Amino acid sequence: MTFKLTSLLFITLSTIAIASTFCLATNDDQRLLIQPNIWTELDPNDPRVVDIAKYAVKEATKRAKGVRVFKYVKVNQASVMHFDEYDNTYDLLVEATEMKSRVTQEYMAFPAETLDKITRKPIKRYLLSFNPTS
């Protein structure tokens, strides 16, 4: 009786171990493309990075309700965190000019976007924060 129970337990655990190995092997390709919760450096001149940075500057101007108007200059540093395949949060060091004072300085911008599952184009964007670095 003990021998049968031990054998059954061994077979069950072996089956689970083999099945989980196959599951991990099939998911390795997806893990290489999207690494969740890890900041990944991006090229500041990439058109997608520039687009999301311009969105952040425009949204910061909109939130200031006419008190401050920002003009995009360039992205100095960029990274992204993928929360899943369709949700990204960006960490951008954006250079922008405050138009009333004509002062250009760096701002830390944290815009986020949700991508369409089919076209992979942004369907929803929002700005988490936009603050001067100094």
> What pLDDT, in 10s, does the model give residues 88-110?
999 999 999 999 999 999 999 99
pTM: 0.71
Q: Which residues span the domain enclosing 26?
A: 1-33
Residues in contact with 111: Cβ distance below 8 Å, sequence separation at least 6, in sequence order: 52, 53, 55, 56, 59, 89, 90, 92, 125, 126, 127, 128
Q: Could you tell me which residue, 74 or 35, shows the higher pLDDT?
A: 74
**13 and 47 part of one domain:** no
Residue 14 has what pLDDT?
A: 52
Which H or E run contains 10? helix 2-33
**3 and 25 part of one domain:** yes
Identify which of 128, 123, 86 has the alpha carbon closest to the alpha carbon of residue 111: 128
The count of structural domains within the chain is: 2
**53 and 5 part of one domain:** no
